[in-house]
Each structure stands twice: as C-alpha cells, then as structure tokens.
Structure 1
Amino acid sequence: MLEAAGVSQEQESVYRLLVTAGGATAHDVSRRTHVSEPESTRVLEALVHQGLASHNDGTPRVFRAVPPDVALLPRIKHTADALDTARGEADRLLEAYRETARRHDAGQLLEVITGAEALRQRLRQIQVNAREEMLWFCRAQYVAMPSGSNTEEFDALARGVRYRVLYEKPFFDDEGAVDNVVAGVQAGEIARAVPWLPLRLAIADRSVGIFPLVPGGPEGSPEQPTTALVRDSNLLGALVALFESYWEHAVPLHLSETGDLAADDTAHYPALSPADGKLLSLLVAGVADKAIASQMNLSRRTVQRRIQNLMERAGAGTRMQLAWQAARRGWL
C-alpha cells in the first residue's frame, strides 16, 4: 500500500511491526515474520537508510519506527507533486500530439453527422462530457431534440455546468416551448432572446461544437439534417465569436414574480445617479480614466471601481458592452 511512497511490501510489513510493537530487534522481527535474522537485519537497515526507522547503539540494537507524519507524509507529498508535474507534462504532450494530428488530418477537426438520431446522440454526449459551459443557439421547429426532451441539460446544470442559451423569438411559438424555457431558467439556465438566429448551434467548453452544414427539415421530414462536429480550430473560434456577438445584443429573459417568462425592459432599469451618469458619459466619449478622475475630483482607483460597479450592474463583461447596455437602458 505504501509502494507509491517508495516503500516495498517487505519494508512496509516490517515498518508496520515496528509501529505496533514500539520497538524490536532483528531477532524479534525474524521470529514474528518467519524471515531469517540476516534478512531481517537487511530490511531494518534499509528502513533506517530511508528515514523510516532509527536504532540505539546497544547490543542487540533495538529499532523503532519514525512517526508516520515525519517519515511518510513528506515523501507522499513529494510523490504527489511529482505526479502532478508529470500529469501536466503529459497533458501538454497530448495537446501537442492532437495539434499535430489536426494539422495533418482534417478528420480530426471536422466530423460529418447524418440523420436526426445520430445528431441527437452527439448533442447528448457533448453535454454529458461538458465541465464548464454550454453555449446554444435555439431556433424554432426542432430538428433532432423536441423542446423539453433535453434532460442532459438539467443533469449538467446540477453538477455546475453553466448554460447560456439564445432563443430566437419564433421559437416561443412552438408547443410547450415557453414552459420548457421557464423550467430551464428555474434550474439555473441563463437565457436571452433575439429576433432571429442565423443557424442552430451547440458548443461545449469552447472545445467542440455542432452546427448544420446544410438546412434540414423538422424531424420526420424527408430532409434529414446533415451537421458537423468541429473541434478546437479557427472555425470553432469563429462560431464562439458569433455566439458572443449575438449574446451581447440579446434581451435577457427572467422569471417574473408570478413565475412567468419575461424580457427585461428598459423601463424597469433604475436611473443612474448624476455622478454615475457623468462618469458614464465621459467614458463613452472616450475620455481616459486619468482624465475622468481629474474632472470629477476622484482618484483613478475610485473611477475604475465605479466603472466596474456599473459593468456588474449592467451585466457587461467589457467596457464596450457597458456602453451598449447603457444606451439600451436609457442611461445616456
């Protein structure tokens, strides 16, 4: 059991005897383990050499175990650190191997999926394997997954995967669509809506995505979907950028006090204080933080802190997004 710490089974057996006996001579060890006394002496001296045991200078010598927290825990920590380093290097080598494979084999980057059932299985698979975030474009008239059938989303949300889902407005005309979106939002989904989406899209952990290669009809129609699964590449990066662009301009959806699905409206946004309004106007006008601080008699750090507060209040990840949200909310 202690082999990972560099202790052989033979040495571990003798070390355990010393721990439980409090001390023992080579003769004692030989008698209890049924091993010759010279062999017992060899094992005991090996334990001393490894810092697992000590002995007195008497005759015969009495060997005692060094406490496990002193003898073993540092060795185990060192081994664990070495394993972590090796694991990190193995991950880097694996990524280099995959990168080389992708460059020489397009099949490593793009996989064609034909048919609704195959698409449904892949959509479920990437959600089961997702660890951090799922990005979705949801269009009207499902092709593979009827609204409400994606139980993998709820499982993923329960284990901490973040879901950001964009719905085009015609999607809500599908039967049961609104109730299913409400259930998703209640479970933790972050939902937004746009008038129209250019394609269907699902991206897991920004490392794998699924999107249609050619338009496909609703499930059951003669026009079966032909989709592509794309892995880490410039194409996937472009799809992520497309999602973020639509997400930035989408209207957030939330649950009202009655539990109904509602879109955020600018009329519901509290107005800014005069000071924050002035700061925001200067920021949008392109005035540098240092100049804003000078004009408003504030420290530069205070200006940056107030800008960060405004970004959090607007749900913006960048200053550019803050400017757009400020215009949409009537803050300018």
Structure 2
Amino acid sequence: MLSDVLGLTPEEADTYHALISVASATPAELAESVGCDARQVVRILGMLEGRGLAVRSLGDTARFVASPPAALRALLVQRQNELKLAELELDSLDEIYRTATLGRGAADVVDVIRGTGAIRERIRQIQLGARTEVMNFAKAPVFSAGNMTDGAVIARGVRYRAILERAMLDEGATSFDEIVDARAAGEEVRIAETLPLKLFIVDREFAIVPLLGAATAGKAGALLVHESSLLDALIALFESEWERATQIVTSAGAVQNGSAIEDLDAQILSLSLTGLTDQAIAAQLRTSLRTVQRRVRHLMNVARVQTRMQLGFQAARLGWLDAERDRNRTA
C-alpha cells in the first residue's frame, strides 16, 4: 500500500482518505467518519499537518482541508532518497564486513548460535537478506516454521535451491502441495535419499549448520560459518548432493511429449523416482493406492517398458525429469 511506503500509520491513512473525500471537516466530523475518538483525530490531524497533508481552513480554523494528493509525491521522493542513502550505507557496511572477514583467525571462522528461537530468527534474517542465492538442505526433525522460503525473496531475483530428505515426505513433515507451491514461486526443489546434515548457505558468503540430536529448545544449537575453506567445503557438498538428487516434476507441462500423460501421471512418476512407496505417494497426492498403481502401469505403457527401473531410464532419456529447464523456458 502507498501509505506503508510513505510511512503513514493506518489511522493517519484512514483520516487522510476521509478528509480528502470532503471539502473540509472538523475533528468531530472526521472522528465519526473513521470511527475514532475525536481527541485521537485531533492528534492525527496534527501529524498530517506536520507532513503537509492537511491544513486549517482559512475561513474557519476549526475545520481542516486535505492537501492535494500531489503532496504525497514529496514524501515519496523523500522516502526514495532515504532508501538510496540506506542502500549506500549497506554497501559500505558490506565492504567493512568483507575486510574484517579477510582478517579472521581460525577461532573467528565459526560462531555458535544457541536456542531454537535464535536459530529460527537467524535463518529468517539471512534468507530475507539474500542478494543472489540461497542453498538449503532440509532434513527432519523440522524446528523452524515452514520448509520453503518466502516467495518475496525469489521475486527479488534470488535463486533458491532446496534439497529435501525423502524422510520428510515419508513422515509428512513436508507435503507435496508445499513443493508445488514452492516450484510455482520459482524455487528449485530436489529430493535426496538421505542428507548428511541440515544446511543453509547464503550468497556463498556464510552458512548456518543446525546441529542434530538436540531436540529441546534449550539445547538446540547451530554453527554460523563465515568465508573460509570450511565454507568452500560446505558449498562443494551442496553442489555434489544437488547433482545426485532427483528433480521434482509437478505437472505434465514440465515434461516433453506432455500430451501423452496427465498432471497426476507426472507427479506419480516424479515421487516414484525419489523412492517413495506407492502407499506414501497415494497419501501425498490424496488418491488411492489402486489409482497410483494403475497410473504407473499407464506410464510404463506410454514409455513402452516392462519394469519400473526401465521406466526411470526411459523417463530420463525422454527429458521427462528436466523440471528446471522447463521452468526457465516458461518463466
């Protein structure tokens, strides 16, 4: 909303909207219109006067008149200038941080984060602050709200790659619907049989490694790894697991010769190739075991193969698993 960008409170925005819709009004009249106490409206009008959005009527100083909406442009320009200055300051802080990082000793490469709340908040902060890329190993047990990132991060052009351990689907920690929503937002998602650890890497500059085995909030901990050979190793580990993990296909539009199969076929194929049982696939897709088995047989007929192993090979040969390429082509 424009009021949010300009720093107006909801009460100030409502009062200005009410005032601009009439020729003039007293605080009492505005209070009735916006549903506030008259004394509160007097205070709000004083704030709007200070911002140049309201003035007293020349004919009756007890009445107020709204300034033209063009007056908001001055506030908008001021806010834009403030944002530019803030961006310059952030660039300067980044440079100071990088310089300090180069001088880190061995003891300064890793910081310790203690407590589930602190870990969750730090992960949220680094994801929201990402500039180029976030890489994520998602592994049970889940201690933070949601396994997928905020779509607003991806909307800024940040690449987000996540590898989910298959057990998260088996145990219901992550649903197929969440994966569909994440891919629709632009996230790249793959499934691995197992993952060695939980991991968040941001902009290839630092990583958070939540420590497994501490189930209680008081004992939970994580390592914050700064630029170092250790971080390089974590990045290499992620890229290695990424190459081995199975891509997720969520619609027939993400496969070649898509007219031969339906969306449900593509989803069953994708989940089957991650190693999920037919029963688990049926639960994830909210369908019956019989339907899953019938659809698998249909896919084998389309691919002209006799076994599921052959189906996986043929699906890869036909490009049915090239989910990321399709996403980039249709974006």
TM norm structure 1:
0.48
Which structure would you say has the larger Rg? 1
